Amino acid sequence: MKMHFVFRFVLHSLSSFSSVINSSRLLSEFNIPNKKFWNIHNNYWAHHIFNVIGNLVNSRGRRGKTSMFQDNLEIFIKEKFKGLSDFSFLEMNEYKIFFISSLVKKEDVNKYVIEHLLEENSNQVVKFPVTNIEKDSSSEKAQEKILRGNIIVSKKNEPFFLSISLPSDVGRSIESSDQEFSLYTSLESFTEQLELNLTLVRRYLPTAELKSEIFEVGKISKSKIALLQIEGSVNKDEIEFMKEKIKNVDEKLIINSAFLGRRLENSPFSSFPQFQVSDRPDLISLALTSGKIVIIIDQNPFALIGPVSFLDFFESTEDYIYIARTAFLIRILRLTGYILSIMLVPLYVAVTTHEYEALPLELLFIIIESRSDVPFTPFWESVLMLLTLEILKEASKRMPAKTGNTLGVVGGIIIGDAAIQAGIASNVLVVIIGITAVSSFVTPNYLMGVSSKILRLLFLLLSFQFGLYGVIIGFCFLIIHLNSIYSMNKPYLMADS
């Protein structure tokens, strides 16, 4: 029995000495003076023998749940982060600290945590000079907090730990929006930081009626999602419907807002977007005051807006600087451009393949003359030119901004002229393709513009097979399809009241 007691005493002493050495090594990384550290531990070793003996003698009788919590937490965290090179563990007096050094700001860890623990008086409660501190007792929660850039501090004989948020500054600053350029409006746009995005919205809407609720989505990523709405302006059924949708998302990782939006849609197989996507806080605030729900995702600068109608995608924030009549005419112009980008090429194929007798003779002669050297049918001629157009668009998007714009303009001119000279395409079709390309850029919403590509191909096939009748039939099916779509249980074709 005596040998067993001596063995436990020596083993506990060696373990404590090892933790001191390890703490000294890590403290040097954070620029903590060794002299200060060892002075404190001289007093620590002066009382260590008595503490060890006292603990060993009374370990069976007095060691309860509170004294076991710190040890169990240490075992759990070390096991979870085993093999992680940037995981750090410090042991000071009665405190143990856990964090991942690459996720925290080392200067703040030194200033707000370590120095205060080194100066800690056993008769006083340590007060950390930070406000974002949480108290918890769940080991799984401690693991999650560490992975989000928090520091976990546990104290001996305390059945809980403190989580101190000191994340590293890895986010970008507020910049102007590159995706949604608008005249005479704010130049601010969202960043990848959820808290900063919420701040931007609250600056536009400084009211207690603006409510936000945080969810976690993603089995692995556990992405934070904020659901925003102005109390009293949104139908409660829509709110509950969206909450249920968010809770039922079954994905390992949420890549971006558009990815989440497809999982929340009523009709996920439709090519039409059922959420607006925006990174502009002014547009987000305007949507909230209009009775819509906004979903902001952490680590993504784009937010989802819903419910939406088909006509919402042809609105822009700059519309509100015009009088109502002017804004209405501009929206009609955008809608007309969208329809032209879909219908113009299919109509060309229909009239030149099936209904050429419906054309005026002068126009018919011009088309016949321009196609005299073209070896392809109007359908394949159109497919070839549309394919070239889409390749140019994709290439210009993948290039740097200045180079991409030049490539789109110069490439279109050169390829169009070369196609005419080589007899691959007619003059008339090149003009139609140019109008189609310009019309496709009139739509202010990118996702709605993407849907026009799919519709253009479908209408092209119908016009090739059935002529103008195919275009009419396709248009009827398009209206039926739009009428069957719901955005958050709201009809897609129902305009906002």
DSSP label of 110: I
**For 443, phi and psi rounded to 5 degrees?**
-65, 120
Confidence at 14, pLDDT banded by 50, 70, 90:
very low
Confidence at 10, pLDDT banded by 50, 70, 90:
very low
Q: 406 pLDDT exceeds 80? A: no
Task: Give the C-alpha separation, 338 to 448, whole Å.
Answer: 9
- What is the chain's alpha carbon radius of gyration, rounded to the nearest angstrom? 33
Please identify, among 274, 308, 342, the residue that sits at the C-terminal boundary of a domain. Answer: 308
Angle at 204 between CA 200 and CA 210, to 5 degrees: 90
Strand residue runs (E) in 368-478: none
- 339 with 287, same domain: the answer is no
Condensed to tens digits (0 to 9), the pLDDT of residues 320-362 reads 788 888 889 999 999 999 999 999 999 999 998 888 888 888 8
Quick one: average pLDDT of 66-86? 82
Nearest one of 318, 228, 275 to 446, comparing CA atoms: 275
Nearest one of 277, 238, 237, 244 to 259, comparing CA atoms: 277
Which two structure tokens, joined as six digits, stand for 98?
Answer: 């856990």
Confidence at 475, pLDDT banded by 50, 70, 90:
very high
The pLDDT of residue 476 is 94
Task: Give the C-alpha separation, 126 to 155, whole Å.
Answer: 10
User: Which of 3-17, 374-388, 444-458 comes out lowest in average pLDDT?
Assistant: 3-17
Residue 154's DSSP bridge partners are: 96, 161
The 3-state DSSP composition of the chain as helix, strand, coil percent (nearest 5) reads 60, 10, 30
Q: Quick check: is 178 in a domain?
A: no
Confidence at 38, pLDDT banded by 50, 70, 90:
very low
Task: Give the C-alpha separation, 335 to 83, whole Å.
Answer: 57
Element (H, E) at 226: strand 223-230
- 408 with 275, same domain: the answer is no
- 225 with 362, same domain: the answer is no
Condensed to tens digits (0 to 9), the pLDDT of residues 389-400 reads 888 888 877 777
- 24 with 158, same domain: the answer is yes
**More confident position, 355 or 229:** 229
- Mapping DSSP to helix (H, G, I), strand (E, B) and coil, where does residue 304 land? strand
Are 92 and 23 in contact, with CB atoms under 8 Å apart?
Answer: yes
Please identify, among 284, 308, 332, the residue that sits at the C-terminal boundary of a domain. Answer: 308
**More confident position, 108 or 278:** 278
- 447 with 372, same domain: the answer is yes
- 146 with 11, same domain: the answer is yes
Please identify, among 150, 165, 180, the residue that sits at the C-terminal boundary of a domain. Answer: 165
- Mapping DSSP to helix (H, G, I), strand (E, B) and coil, where does residue 69 land? helix
Instruction: State CA 450 to chain mean position distance.
Output: 20
- 159 with 21, same domain: the answer is yes
The pLDDT of residue 472 is 93
The pLDDT of residue 66 is 60
Task: Give the C-alpha separation, 212 to 459, whole Å.
Answer: 43
- 93 with 153, same domain: the answer is yes
**More confident position, 406 or 356:** 356
Nearest one of 392, 490, 402 to 440, comparing CA atoms: 392
Alpha helices, H only, 63-109: 65-80, 106-109
Q: How many folded domains does the chain comprise?
A: 3
What is the full DSSP assignment across 126-189?
---S-S-EEEE--HHHHHHHHHTTEEEEEETT-S-EEEEE-B---SPPP---SSS--TTS----
Confidence at 18, pLDDT banded by 50, 70, 90:
very low
Task: Give the C-alpha separation, 322 to 1, whole Å.
Answer: 92
User: Which of 41-50, 212-221, 313-322, 328-337 comes out lowest in average pLDDT?
Assistant: 41-50
Q: Quick check: is 181 in a domain?
A: no
Q: How many CA atoms lie within 13 A of 215 on its CB side?
A: 20
Which residue type occupies 250? D
Are 86 and 100 in contact, with CB atoms under 8 Å apart?
Answer: yes
Q: Quick check: is 175 in a domain?
A: no
Q: What is the mean pLDDT of the chain?
A: 79
Residue 67's domain comprises 2-165
Nearest one of 461, 432, 456, 435 to 366, comparing CA atoms: 432
Q: 34 pLDDT exceeds 60? A: no
**For 365, phi and psi rounded to 5 degrees?**
-65, -40
Q: Quick check: is 187 in a domain?
A: no
Quick one: average pLDDT of 98-106? 82
Task: Give the C-alpha separation, 467 to 348, whole Å.
Answer: 10
356 CB contacts (<8 Å, ≥6 apart)?
364, 367
Would the pTM of this model clear 0.85, i.e. be above it?
no
The pLDDT of residue 348 is 92
The pLDDT of residue 169 is 67
Q: Quick check: is 313 in a domain?
A: no
- 456 with 487, same domain: the answer is yes
Alpha helices, H only, 206-323: 236-247, 257-264, 281-289
**More confident position, 281 or 177:** 281
Nearest one of 217, 73, 206 to 146, comparing CA atoms: 73
- 361 with 271, same domain: the answer is no
Confidence at 5, pLDDT banded by 50, 70, 90:
very low
Q: Quick check: is 7 in a domain?
A: yes
Q: Quick check: is 180 in a domain?
A: no
Q: Quick check: is 10 in a domain?
A: yes
The pLDDT of residue 130 is 63
Task: Give the C-alpha separation, 292 to 272, whole Å.
Answer: 19
- 229 with 206, same domain: the answer is yes
What is the full DSSP assignment across 448-466?
HHHHHHHHHHHHHHHHHHH
- 159 with 104, same domain: the answer is yes
Q: 213 pLDDT exceeds 70? A: yes
